[in-house]
């Protein structure tokens, strides 16, 4: 089979629809830049709504035959895709650095968890059909409760973990008998989409089972979300955009599976090893330049250890090696993804300082390299604390007792992730139970994702759960078939 490069000689400038590499119907492309150098290294197609229609129609046409295959047959393809990704491990790590500014550790970890997405999809057994002989109404009746694939699944993935946040929906959807249309983020169209199309093509998936369309959200996002063909739409992104996506999906009675924004609190009690807690806090705030929905957005620290914690957090921030991960794999910290992201971060810091916070370190940008930043003297209503800043900013807020810590932690519209650092595990568990978040991690940072644990949020942070048996529930429909074995009397006829 021909890869985009083999077929066109120009790299990634083709969509993948119905088993074919084709130009966008617009004939236009979008440049892809390395955020570290600002150099263009590829062009991808600027798809139109007509291209989205073609992709969904191809997926719909291919789905019945794909679902009719035995699970074992489908898993052979999924296994081949997993093997293909694993074989290109180092190449993909490099692509994540080049396209998204991912440092080596983050990129390696993302490829590893993406491989595990395929492995988990292979290992996860769907619910068995049930047969029940007892009936509340009538006799000699058997109930059959069966699970069927929903049909076509649309996926809109983000730029921060583009590979994993595509594969976590793609792999189980395919394993369960669904077909897929994937739209990656404009900033990361290769690692979020076209790379996976190439892997699917090389794995030999039947035409139309995997389809990838690249383009700006302003051009094709609404059509992806409001199209009448998909039965489930997986979206990962901001809460504001997620609400629009959910509304569009709802107009066609498509189930929206949403992982949205977060404002993770990290509660640090007075009995901790402060040095260890600050190390955990630094990882939680500065991994991938803070561009993680589950990163620490607020450090809530007991007043007895507040000053020491701030000093240690500053030391960690200033120790990070900043640079171009695509040129130097040893750097800890790369660029933010684009100018909009950088400008928002500068504004959050400036507003917080104007509101009375103290800038302990960082707060400045050199092109897209935004310094790891620590703000002390913060309150919950300051800009860098009440907003999801989505960057390497660590606001540190003092509290006096556990009740105040919980009040501060829950004083947000979000409820995605959280962490508690506390030496007394019983007390830590009590704090964790009181925090309104879908995921809470004790004595660890909140940037956690396990294939056998439910991933998702409360409040304005989303709907549904990913991973394991929880995503299976999203991707299957339950059907009740009853069989009446003997004639019965019908009083109303």
| Count of beta carbons in the 10 Å neighbourhood of residue 8 | 14
Q: Is the model's pLDDT at 10 over the cut of 90?
A: no
- Residues annotated catalytic, as ranges: 259, 293
Predicted confidence (pLDDT) per residue in 131-179, tens digit: 888 767 767 889 999 999 999 999 999 999 999 999 999 999 999 999 9
pTM more than 0.75:
yes
Each residue of 282-331: pLDDT tens digit?
Answer: 999 999 999 999 999 999 999 999 999 999 999 999 999 999 999 999 99
Distance CA 416, CA 402 (A): 20
Beta-strand relationship, 458-459 and 414-415: antiparallel
> pLDDT tens-digit profile of 29-53?
999 999 999 999 999 999 999 999 9
Which residues, at least 6 apart from 468, have a Cβ–Cβ distance to it below 8 Å?
A: 120, 124, 451, 452, 453, 454
Mean per-residue pLDDT of the chain? 95
The answer for residues whose C-beta is within 8 angstroms of residue 103's C-beta and 6 or more apart is 97, 288, 325, 331, 332, 333, 334
Longest dimension (CA), the chain: 82
**246 close to 278: Cβ distance less than 8 angstroms:** no
**Domains of the chain from N-terminus onward:** 4-260+461-479 (3.40.605.10), 264-442 (3.40.309.10)
How would you classify the pairing of strands 358-361 and 373-376?
antiparallel
Whether the Cβ atoms of residue 471 and residue 310 lie closer than 8 Å to each other: no
Residue found by looking up tokens 């919980």 in the block: 406
């Amino acid at each position: 089979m021909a890869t985009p490069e083999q077929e066109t000689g120009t790299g990634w400038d083709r969509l993948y629809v119905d088993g074919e590499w084709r130009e966008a119907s617009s004939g236009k492309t979008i440049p892809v830049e390395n955020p570290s150098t600002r150099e263009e290294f590829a062009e991808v197609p600027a798809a139109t709504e007509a291209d989205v229609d073609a992709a969904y129609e191809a997926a719909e046409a291919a789905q019945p035959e794909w679902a009719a295959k035995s699970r074992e047959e489908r898993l052979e393809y999924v296994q081949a895709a997993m093997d293909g990704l694993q074989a290109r491990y180092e190449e993909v790590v490099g692509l994540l650095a080049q396209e998204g500014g991912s440092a080596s550790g983050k990129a390696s970890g993302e490829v590893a968890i993406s491989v595990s997405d395929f492995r988990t999809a292979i290992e996860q057994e769907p619910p068995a059909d049930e047969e029940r002989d007892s009936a509340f109404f009538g006799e000699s009746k058997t109930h059959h409760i069966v699970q069927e694939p929903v049909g076509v699944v649309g996926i809109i993935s983000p730029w921060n973990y583009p590979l994993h946040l595509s594969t976590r929906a793609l792999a189980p959807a395919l394993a369960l008998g669904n077909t897929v249309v994937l739209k990656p983020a404009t900033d990361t169209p290769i690692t979020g989409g076209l790379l996976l199309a190439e892997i699917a093509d090389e794995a030999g998936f039947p035409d139309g089972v995997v389809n990838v369309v690249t383009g700006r959200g302003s051009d094709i996002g609404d059509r992806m979300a409001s199209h009448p063909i998909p039965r489930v739409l997986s979206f990962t992104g901001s809460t504001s955009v997620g609400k629009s996506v959910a509304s569009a999906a709802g107009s066609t009675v498509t189930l929206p599976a949403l992982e949205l924004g977060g404002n993770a609190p990290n509660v640090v009690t007075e009995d901790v090893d402060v040095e260890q807690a600050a190390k955990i806090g630094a990882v939680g705030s500065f991994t991938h330049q803070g561009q993680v929905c589950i990163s620490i957005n607020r450090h809530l620290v007991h007043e007895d250890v507040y000053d020491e914690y701030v000093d240690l957090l500053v030391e960690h921030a200033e120790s990070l090696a900043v640079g171009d991960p695509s040129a130097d794999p040893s750097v800890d910290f790369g660029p933010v993804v684009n100018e909009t992201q950088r400008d928002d971060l500068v504004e959050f810091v400036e507003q917080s300082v104007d509101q009375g916070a103290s800038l302990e370190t960082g707060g400045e940008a050199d092109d897209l390299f935004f310094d790891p930043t620590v703000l002390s003297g913060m309150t919950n209503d300051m800009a860098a604390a009440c907003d999801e800043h989505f960057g390497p900013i660590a606001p540190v807020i003092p509290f006096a007792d556990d009740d105040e810590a919980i009040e501060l932690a829950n004083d947000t519209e979000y409820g995605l992730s959280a962490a508690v650092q506390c030496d007394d595990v019983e007390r830590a568990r009590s704090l964790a139970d009181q925090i309104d978040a879908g995921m809470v991690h004790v004595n660890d940072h909140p940037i956690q994702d396990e294939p056998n644990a439910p991933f998702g949020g409360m409040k304005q942070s989303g709907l549904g759960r990913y991973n394991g048996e929880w995503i299976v529930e999203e991707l299957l429909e339950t059907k009740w078939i009853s069989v009446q074995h003997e004639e019965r009397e019908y009083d109303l006829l």
